[in-house]
Structure 1
């Protein structure tokens, strides 16, 4: 979920990183400069001003709405995010989400991944040296919000920093998630499955014998 508000209240609990004077670009359009708070619960950008003056809106992002985060070096150093949500703001002159903005909203429509709108965000700090700390805080926050319903598809590939860098040198680090921190959650689930498979393959007789003994005792 993404919450946009005209009111701002600084987070007080679970703050992983606070980065003041952070510029935000939404689909390449500058929204303003504010403080970025990466917390254990959400990501908040607020308490800032628009490029033309006046207060900028406050944007709060829950981790399930963040599909990917990465360190971007070009065209300017930034913490890059992709939302599985089309963020519509009156401050922006046009919307460039992948969905059809002219189509009426209908919650009963069948979901189509190809038509799912997205939003690209770029958080640009005052100093490039802050990017790694921002990325690390984001990774930590998403790891706290795994998706319990997510099941790893053996044919599905998740991006890590090295794999993304080879595909596009524009990004130095990247983590992709299906929901909240699904990349990390799926990786742990895959490792557990592999351990279970090895256990069943190498010691299946011992495993079944132990199970039979338990049934007889009952």
Structure 2
């Protein structure tokens, strides 16, 4: 669930990390600069200035809606997230103008079915790049407090743990699949198990990375 609001109240309980002056890009469109709060129960961004002036909207994300989070280094250092939800904001519609419909028409031609698999890409860009690692750690801690029962498997299964993708594209240093996309995660897990049944060909697999 994603909660949008025009009012803002800073979280006071269970705050794992707070990052002021954090810019937010939603699908590559700037929404503004505000404070990012990573708490035990949700992720909140708000209390700042919107990209077009005035107060920024307040966005509250529950962990089950976040299917992946990662540290991104390019094109700019950011905490990258993928939501299993199509986030629609009036501010983005106003910025996009008449191109929004054209973009939707173009998307219909893609192999990816947005109606079946709606997603939103978020990039939280802190004022200080040094904040990225503690932001990622706080996200992992908060996500760990909200496991998806559908994703529970054998405790020794290596594919259910967050991993550091050292051999992946340098754009993403760390990535962790969350409980928001069980169907995709389960499909990938089944594929890996099927392949591994014929032999431990680990070198044939590339590390998972966030989809642009």
What is the TM-score with the length of structure 1 in the denominator? 0.70
List runs of 5+ in structure 2 lacking aligned partners: 186-212
Question: 3-state SS of the aligned residue for 1:139?
Answer: helix
The separation in 1 between residues aligned to 2:181 and 2:19, in whole angstroms, is 22
* Aligned residue runs from structure 1 range 14-29, under 5 A: 14-29=14-29
Q: Measured at CA, do residues 77 and 12 of structure 1 come closer, stay the same or move farther in structure 2, by a change above 3 Å?
A: same
Is 2:18–2:37's contact at 8 Å kept on the other side of the alignment? yes
Q: Measured at CA, do residues 60 and 180 of structure 1 come closer, stay the same or move farther in structure 2, by a change above 3 Å?
A: farther
RMSD of aligned alpha carbons: 3.3
Moved more, 68-77 or 87-96: 87-96
Moved more, 36-45 or 87-96: 87-96
Q: Measured at CA, do residues 117 and 180 of structure 1 come closer, stay the same or move farther in structure 2, by a change above 3 Å?
A: closer
Asked if 1:123 corresponds to 2:124, the answer is yes
What is the TM-score with the length of structure 2 in the denominator? 0.72
* Aligned residue runs from structure 1 range 178-193, under 5 A: 178-179=179-180
Deviation at 1:147, TM superposition (A): 1.1
Question: 3-state SS of the aligned residue for 1:166?
Answer: coil
Q: Where does residue 196 of structure 2 map in the other structure?
A: none
Residues matched between the structures, number:
172
The separation in 2 between residues aligned to 1:35 and 1:124, in whole angstroms, is 11
Is 2:147–2:179's contact at 8 Å kept on the other side of the alignment? no
Deviation at 1:148, TM superposition (A): 1.8
Moved more, 113-122 or 42-51: 113-122
Is 2:38–2:138's contact at 8 Å kept on the other side of the alignment? yes
Deviation at 1:150, TM superposition (A): 2.4
Is 2:84–2:181's contact at 8 Å kept on the other side of the alignment? no
Q: Where does residue 178 of structure 2 map in the other structure?
A: 177
- The structure whose RCO (Cα within 8 Å, separation 6+) is larger is 2
The separation in 2 between residues aligned to 1:58 and 1:145, in whole angstroms, is 22
Question: 3-state SS of the aligned residue for 2:53?
Answer: coil
List runs of 5+ in structure 1 lacking aligned partners: 102-111, 184-218
Deviation at 1:160, TM superposition (A): 4.3
Q: Where does residue 90 of structure 1 map in the other structure?
A: 90
The separation in 1 between residues aligned to 2:153 and 2:140, in whole angstroms, is 19
The separation in 1 between residues aligned to 2:4 and 2:128, in whole angstroms, is 26
The separation in 1 between residues aligned to 2:163 and 2:40, in whole angstroms, is 22
Deviations 1:121-164 (A, max 9, x none): 000000100000000000000000011232449999557443x3
The separation in 2 between residues aligned to 1:88 and 1:113, in whole angstroms, is 13
